[in-house]
């Protein structure tokens, strides 16, 4: 293949931003050097590694664009893939819920959806991997986990305990406002749902947690916790061998994770809005305390790039901010072939202009091919 030279760029390296050029060969970065005399002129724009997304609910939004609407899955996957490419994400761990409650809108779908994603991967713009969100407070988690195997290449298994009255939903009034507002529940229906979830946790909680940990170990997947609130939660996580903590809700939990060698992930919408919609700790507070390691777009894909620059401004270090959405998530999930600008790594790249100081994505490249 003919070499592609991207020149007159500001390269976002691990610890600095400097002028330079990148040579792409056979889908990989072949050389990094000073600006070249010929090539594709980047016009002084930033050239950074492609973004790596570890936890996004975005696919579910495409599957069910409105309550009760089941969109064709292939069409949903294609639209989701195109949207992510258009926001600079070049690798995504698609979060699929495993664990259902019979007779509710939480129907089983993960096995069939994962199969469709795996079948479509060769035809999609970006790199898709599977993240299973193991709902502890459910009826079918153990049997759904048994439908997967090592051949599925599960990358992440997160332990999701949404039992009312603890973790993310320890503030029951905040939980009531969230649930009733999102799903149009009456107070009576909300209270009935809470009672059902608490009963499910009492019956299945310990069994499901053990099953999810065992499945992740069996598949070689990275284990993640979710909504840690206390040091006691973190102690349990550490005993399970958890390496990622998604959205810790307190400074206490985030500090305990850091002490245990567990990386803290916070949501980009939290950072951009200046706080959590559930009333939990602000991502910016963890960033200022030096306890934020990785950022996830969560439910707004376009927020990921913006959040990286917000952190860069907060820390006075653009390279460090970009690292929370590139090198750090790559290292946390064992993706040693991407996440940095270095010879031999995949040419997953994004070009970013900064009109008025606002990041504007111009191009997305995956393995040396422009996809957006």
pLDDT tens-digit readout, 187-235: 777 667 777 777 888 788 889 999 999 999 999 999 999 999 999 999 9
Distance CA 347, CA 363 (A): 13
CA angle at 140 for the pair 136 and 144, rounded to the nearest 5°: 100
Task: Tell me, yes or no, whether 30 and 58 share the same domain.
Answer: no
DSSP 113-154: HHHHHHHHGGGSSSEEEEEEEEESSSSSHHHHHTT--GGG-E
Q: E-assigned strands of the chain? A: 4-12, 17-25, 28-33, 40-41, 46-49, 51-56, 89-98, 127-135, 154-160, 222-226, 244-246, 263-267, 294-296, 349-353, 360-366, 369-370
In 3-state terms, what secondary structure has residue 185? coil
Task: Tell me, yes or no, whether 294 and 322 share the same domain.
Answer: yes
**CATH number of the domain bearing residue 296:** 3.20.20.140
Task: Tell me, yes or no, whether 293 and 316 share the same domain.
Answer: yes
Please give the pLDDT value at position 138. 86
Please give the pLDDT value at position 165. 56
Residues in the chain: 372
Task: Tell me, yes or no, whether 264 and 365 share the same domain.
Answer: no
Distance CA 160, CA 205 (A): 11
Task: Tell me, yes or no, whether 111 and 14 share the same domain.
Answer: no
Total number of domains in the chain: 2
Distance CA 4, CA 45 (A): 17
Task: Tell me, yes or no, whether 255 and 275 share the same domain.
Answer: yes
- Cβ neighbour number for residue 239 with a 10 Å cutoff: 10
Please give the pLDDT value at position 69. 86
Task: Tell me, yes or no, whether 21 and 109 share the same domain.
Answer: no
**CATH number of the domain bearing residue 12:** 2.30.40.10
Give backbone dihedrals phi and psi of 124, rounded to 5 degrees, phi first: -90, 165
Task: Tell me, yes or no, whether 164 and 108 share the same domain.
Answer: yes
Task: Tell me, yes or no, whether 37 and 143 share the same domain.
Answer: no
Burial class (CB in 10 A: 0-12, 13-18, 19+), 176: middle
- The pTM of the full predicted model, rounded to 2 decimals, is 0.91
Task: Tell me, yes or no, whether 22 and 113 share the same domain.
Answer: no
Task: Tell me, yes or no, whether 87 and 177 share the same domain.
Answer: yes
DSSP 221-242: PEEEEES--SHHHHHHHHHHT-
Walking along the chain (372 residues) 10 residues at a time, the average pLDDT comes out as 93 98 98 94 98 95 86 96 98 94 74 96 98 92 96 96 67 61 66 76 88 97 95 95 96 97 97 82 96 96 98 98 98 98 98 96 98 98
Task: Tell me, yes or no, whether 274 and 369 share the same domain.
Answer: no
Provide the edge-to-edge strand list for the sheet that holds 89-98.
51-56, 89-98, 127-135, 154-160, 222-226, 244-246, 263-267, 294-296
Please give the pLDDT value at position 264. 98
Q: Which domain holds residue 20?
A: 1-49+338-372
Distance CA 236, CA 223 (A): 12
Summarize pLDDT for 138-148 with one digit per residue, the tens. 889 999 999 99
Please give the pLDDT value at position 166. 65
């Amino acid at each position: 293949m003919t070499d592609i030279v991207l020149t007159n760029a500001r390269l976002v390296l691990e610890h600095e931003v400097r002028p330079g050029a990148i040579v792409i060969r056979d889908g990989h970065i072949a050389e990094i050097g000073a600006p070249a005399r010929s090539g594709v002129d980047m016009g002084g724009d930033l050239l950074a590694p492609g973004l790596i997304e570890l936890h996004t609910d975005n696919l579910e939004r495409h599957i069910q664009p409105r309550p009760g609407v089941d969109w064709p899955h292939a069409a949903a996957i294609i639209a989701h893939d195109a949207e992510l490419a258009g926001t600079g994400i070049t690798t995504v761990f698609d979060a699929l819920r495993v664990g259902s409650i019979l007779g509710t809108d939480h129907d089983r779908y993960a096995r069939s959806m994962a199969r469709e994603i795996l079948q479509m991967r060769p035809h999609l713009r970006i790199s898709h991997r599977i993240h299973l969100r193991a709902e502890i407070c459910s009826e079918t988690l153990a049997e759904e986990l048994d439908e997967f195997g090592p051949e599925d290449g599960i990358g992440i298994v997160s332990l999701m305990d949404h039992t009312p009255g603890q973790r993310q939903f320890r503030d029951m009034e905040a939980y009531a406002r969230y649930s009733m507002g999102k799903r149009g529940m009456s107070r009576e229906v909300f209270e009935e749902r809470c009672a059902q979830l608490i009963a499910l946790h009492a019956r299945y909680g310990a069994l499901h947690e053990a099953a999810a940990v065992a499945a992740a170990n069996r598949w070689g997947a990275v284990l993640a916790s979710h909504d840690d609130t206390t040091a006691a939660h973190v102690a349990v996580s550490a005993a399970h061998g958890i390496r990622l903590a998604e959205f810790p809700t307190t400074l206490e939990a985030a500090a305990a994770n850091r002490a245990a060698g567990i990386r803290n992930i916070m949501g980009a919408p939290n950072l951009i809005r200046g706080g959590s919609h559930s009333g939990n700790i602000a991502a910016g507070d963890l960033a200022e305390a030096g306890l934020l390691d990785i950022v996830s777009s969560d439910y707004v894909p376009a927020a990921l790039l913006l959040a990286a620059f917000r952190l860069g401004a907060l820390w006075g270090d653009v390279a460090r901010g970009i690292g929370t959405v590139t090198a750090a998530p790559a290292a946390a999930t064992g993706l040693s072939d991407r996440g940095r600008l270095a010879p031999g790594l995949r040419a997953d790249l994004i070009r970013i202009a900064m009109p008025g100081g606002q990041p504007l994505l111009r191009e997305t490249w995956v393995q040396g091919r422009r996809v957006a």
